[in-house]
Amino acid sequence: MIVTLLDAVLLTTYFLLLFLSLFWLLVLLSPEKNDIKKKLTRHPLFSVIVPAYNEEESIHKTLVSLCNVAYPQEKMEIIVVNDGSTDNTKNIVEEFIREHPTRNIMLINQENKGKGKAMNKGLEKAAGEFFACLDADSFVAPNALQVMLPLFEDDIKIAAVCPLLKVKKPSNVLQKVQWFEYIINMFYRFLNAKLHCIHVTPGPFSVYRTDVIQEMGGYDEETITEDLEIAIRLQKHHYRIVQTFDTIVETESPTTWKTLFRQRVRWYKGSVDNTIRYKKLLFNKQYGDFGMLRMPTIIASGVIAIILTSALVQSMIKKSVQFFLILKDINFDVITLFKNYTFEFNFLNLPFFKMTIAFTVILLSFVMMYLAFKVVHEKITRYGRTWLSLVTYLFIYSLFLTTVWLYIAYMFIKKKKNFWF
């Protein structure tokens, strides 16, 4: 049997995927520390920073969700940073403040400077012992602080706590695809949390120790993924990031493929940029599993996606060319071709080795999906029939993400500048 370079690359990739799948299964089966859920015993001053740019459709609901959080009003301040919005965001926030005179809500208006600078502007005013960032298109559960703040009491090195993040009421196929994606991602966060390998503190209501972030210099104002950069920086300084699944924050998701493409380009390009920026953490035993496993897989996931999809496309092109040459030899007499076609099947000629690997990887993928829904306490039928969305997620969405990675590769080759879509 002749093994081509492509076969060697594919087999290596399959084995890597198989190894990672089995590794994560072992992590899942590893014994957990019997954590006793703690109750909130004190109410430290808490600040929420809401950076907003053209969020007129959601900012009111976001603020309502904050006002519904079970926490003493006098111990909670809300700081909205209007980052040069050109829509009605500013007026909506001002009206909300007038309607809620007993709430400690502050509005800061600035020219459009980006989310990083908006967060730092809010940090300058924040007086809380803890603070949270809340994207203006996300909505907090009432029990958020009752669940999240007690977790900081376990260890002084815990610098951030992240909530369970879900897509809010997906209505079309694309949003339901993202609903699946978020659930799978939260499952992997569950596994990464076991190894202290969380590499991003999402914008929807991640809670931080204020003094830690201030001592580190606040948010990076140049990166396009400030939530990922600050998480890696926390890991660099050997702080811990905790993931809880006992409170939910819902977020609006893109409704079109174009908007989703732009969002994912920003996310993944920012991931690669910050991996390169913090390359000294790569394969660095000083950072444990985070350096040896999590950091390398940030880029590896994109490389694997490109390899597998390229192999699929190459195979399809090769077979199409072969079929075209056959048609050309018979002067494109398709009718004669099908009349003389004979189907021959030899069970022994099947590529059993490749099929076994592929089947195993697919089977493990379904197992992971089942476990993901179990971990996040979700039902696949929650939003009605989702089979079309599931099929799209399993067989089409990966191709979409590959185009995202290919575009990012193009950006690097052409040295295109980052920009916030």
Per-residue pLDDT band at 5 (split at 50, 70, 90):
low
Best CA proximity match to 199, nearest among 275, 305, 302: 275
For residue 198, what is the DSSP state?
-
Query: pLDDT at position 34, please?
Result: 60
Per-residue confidence (pLDDT) for residue 342, from 0 to 100: 62
Average pLDDT over residues 246-257: 96
Mean pLDDT of all residues in the chain?
Answer: 89
pLDDT digits (tens, 9 = 90+) for 192-211: 999 999 999 999 999 999 99
> What tens digit of pLDDT does each residue of 55-109 get?
999 999 999 999 999 999 999 999 999 999 999 999 999 999 999 999 999 999 9
Question: Would you state the pLDDT for residue 37?
Answer: 74
Position 421 scores a pLDDT of: 53
Confidence of residue 51 (pLDDT cuts 50, 70, 90): very high
Give φ, ψ of 139 to 5 degrees. Answer: -140, 130
Q: 94 exposed, middle or buried (CB, 10 Å; 0-12, 13-18, 19+)?
A: middle
Question: Which residue do the tokens 């998480």 mark?
Answer: 231
**pLDDT surpasses 80 at 122:** yes
Strand pairing category for 46-52 and 130-133: parallel
pLDDT higher than threshold 80 for residue 376? yes
Beta strands 130-133 and 138-140 are: unpaired
The per-residue pLDDT for 320 is 85
3-class secondary structure, 110: strand
For 160-194, the pLDDT digits (tens) are 999 999 999 999 999 999 999 999 999 999 999 99
Query: SS3 for 223?
Result: coil
Q: Domains in the chain, ordered, with CATH? A: 46-256 (3.90.550.10)
pTM more than 0.75: yes
